[in-house]
Amino acid sequence: MKSTYLKTPLGIAKITGDNEGVAEIKIEDQNIEFQENEDLPDTILQAKSQLREYFEKKRKNFDFKLNPKGTQFQQKVWKALLEIPFGKTSSYMELSKKLGDPKAIRAVASANGKNPLWIVVPCHRVIGSDGSLTGYAGGLHRKKWLLELESPSPQQSLF
């Protein structure tokens, strides 16, 4: 596995993967010193480029190869997250129902929280059933910022 870093408005993103795809994108909370790896796989270079475009409001969808590691259930949840369109939100209850088990809401929330692909698998688009911002591994301030970036009417804050 190789890694690269991208400065974003929300901190430094670490992108890790190999020729099989990007396995992890995470945000670093502290300022870190980093040196670029040489000979990065194309998938990592594509991810870095596409994330940069996302933050520049030039991209709404990602099309590089993904290879996250997780249980079969987690993979199923992450796949469902990929179906939440840019600029839209869903609730944990809606996801649970979509996956065929409304009682699995806590398991869905747990899988959502273990999503290894920050932004690309859009767990930030999942909110409470009452429309409230709910837990987010990257911090609620980042979730709010991302939802506002994706909002169809940027002058109107969702939260």
Summarised one tens digit per residue, pLDDT across range 30-42 is 767 666 667 899 9
CATH 3.30.160 domain span(s) along the chain: 2-55
Residues 6+ apart with CB under 8 A from 27: 8, 10, 11, 12, 13, 14, 118, 138, 142
Residue 151 pLDDT > 70, yes or no?
Answer: yes
Catalytic residue among 95, 121, 123, 146: 123
**Looking at residue 129, what is its pLDDT?**
85
Four-way CATH pick for 2-55: 3.30.160, 3.20.20, 2.30.40, 3.40.390: 3.30.160
Residues 6+ apart with CB under 8 A from 131: none
Q: In one letter, which amino acid is 5?
A: Y
Which of 98, 95, 100 is CA-nearest to residue 111? 95
pLDDT tens figures, 64-98: 999 999 999 999 999 999 999 999 999 999 999 99
Task: Look up the pTM and report it.
Answer: 0.88
CATH 1.10.10.10 domain span(s) along the chain: 72-150
pLDDT band for position 139 (cuts 50, 70, 90)? confident
Which of 82, 79, 81, 63 is CA-nearest to residue 71? 79
Four-way CATH pick for 72-150: 1.10.10.10, 1.20.1070.10, 1.10.287.130, 2.60.120.260: 1.10.10.10
What percentage of the chain reaches a pLDDT higher than 70? 90
Query: Is 123 labeled as catalytic in the residue annotation?
Result: yes
Diameter of the chain by CA atoms?
47
